[in-house]
């Protein structure tokens, strides 16, 4: 099926293109251990799509701890240094199922796509995966001041793509991201369990079910 060519796709990074959540978890768990806070894999779900600063606030709240700003800054730096060490070995084999083929198909069909991620490390990750230059635009945590569910990240991506929001389809794995897409006036495809992604226009359990034809169904 050939798709109408005015559409554009905006991809979230963690949980859609690659599973960086497992590395965030290892780095945050080490921080939590040092702070004497119990931090489980289930707690880690709360951090998906959430900024680094906000993630620390959530962990401190879980442990009912308060820190001053310079202590928080030191922790944020330590967490990111550890995270960067962990992802330094990342390569294209870590892309989630079907994603590389999908991005390639979009590229071959001249359907533009952008990244819309909360991560300040997004560009580095796309470069490690060798796909950074496939994206028409990369909008990440360095470009925006308001976190998802605010629509800023996706509206900025639409602007850089030169597309109206109603012509953009967002692919997201986090509830805050789906809400951000809807707040931007865009269509949203959720990856994961429907109960966590209720506002999505379509939910798929896994990236392997996402193909170029999926975008025609919306
Ligand atoms: P960084 P996404 C998000 O990526 C992650 O889901 C979230 O867990 C992380 O805290 C956030 O990026 C910030 O990452 O510390 O690298 O700036 O899902 O928006 O692509
Ligand atoms: Mg995500």
Model confidence at 21: pLDDT above 60: yes
What pLDDT, on the 0 to 100 scale, is given for residue 74? 98
**pLDDT band with cut points at 50, 70 and 90 for residue 196:** confident
156 lines ligand 1 (CB under 6 A): no
Q: Is 93 a catalytic residue?
A: no
Model confidence at 4: pLDDT above 80: no
What pLDDT, on the 0 to 100 scale, is given for residue 144? 94
144 lines ligand 1 (CB under 6 A): no
Closest to 92 measured CA to CA, from 129, 132, 122? 129
Q: What is the mean pLDDT of residues 74-91?
A: 95
117 lines ligand 1 (CB under 6 A): yes
Residue ranges of the domains in the chain?
Answer: 8-19+91-216, 21-87
Catalytic site residue from 14, 19, 73, 206: 14
Distance from Cα 64 to the centre of ligand 2, integer Å: 26
Model confidence at 145: pLDDT above 60: yes
* pLDDT 10s digits, 24-81: 999 999 999 999 999 999 999 899 888 999 999 999 999 999 999 999 999 999 999 9
DSSP SS3 for 5: coil
Q: What is the mean pLDDT of residues 201-215?
A: 97
Distance from Cα 202 to the centre of ligand 1, integer Å: 23
Model confidence at 191: pLDDT above 50: yes
The bound ligand whose nearest atom lies closest to the alpha carbon of 149 is 1
Q: What is the mean pLDDT of residues 86-107?
A: 94
* Mean residue pLDDT across the chain: 95
175 lines ligand 1 (CB under 6 A): no
Encoding tokens for residue 196?
């966590």
Burial of 107 (0-12, 13-18, 19+ CB in 10 A): middle
What pLDDT, on the 0 to 100 scale, is given for residue 2? 47
Identify the CATH assignment for 8-19+91-216 out of 3.90.226.10, 3.40.50.1000, 3.40.1350.10, 3.10.580.10.
Answer: 3.40.50.1000
What pLDDT, on the 0 to 100 scale, is given for residue 91? 86
Backbone angles phi, psi at 138, to 5 degrees: -125, 115
Cβ-contact 48, 174 below 8 angstroms? yes
Distance from Cα 101 to the centre of ligand 1, integer Å: 23
Q: Is 173 a catalytic residue?
A: no
Q: Look up the CATH number of domain 21-87.
A: 1.10.150.240
What pLDDT, on the 0 to 100 scale, is given for residue 5? 59
């Amino acid at each position: 099926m050939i798709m109408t060519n005015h559409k554009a796709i905006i991809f979230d990074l963690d949980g859609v293109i690659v599973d960086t959540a497992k590395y965030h978890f290892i780095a945050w768990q080490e921080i939590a251990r040092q702070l004497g806070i119990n931090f489980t894999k289930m707690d880690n779900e709360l951090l998906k799509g959430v900024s680094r600063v906000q993630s620390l606030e959530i962990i401190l709240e879980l442990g009912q701890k308060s820190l001053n700003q310079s202590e928080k800054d030191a922790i944020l730096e330590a967490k990111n240094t550890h995270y960067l060490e962990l992802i330094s070995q990342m390569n294209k084999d870590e892309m989630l199922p079907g994603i590389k083929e999908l991005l390639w198909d979009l590229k071959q069909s001249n359907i533009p796509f952008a990244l819309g991620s909360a991560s300040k490390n997004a560009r580095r990750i796309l470069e490690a995966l060798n796909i950074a230059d496939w994206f028409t635009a990369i909008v990440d945590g360095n470009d925006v001041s308001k976190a998802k569910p605010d629509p800023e990240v996706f509206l900025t991506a639409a602007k850089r793509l030169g597309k109206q929001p109603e012509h953009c389809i967002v692919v997201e794995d986090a509830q805050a991201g789906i809400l951000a897409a809807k707040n931007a006036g865009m269509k949203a495809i959720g990856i994961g369990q429907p109960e966590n992604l209720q506002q999505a226009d379509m939910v798929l359990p896994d990236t392997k079910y996402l193909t170029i034809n999926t975008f025609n169904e919306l």
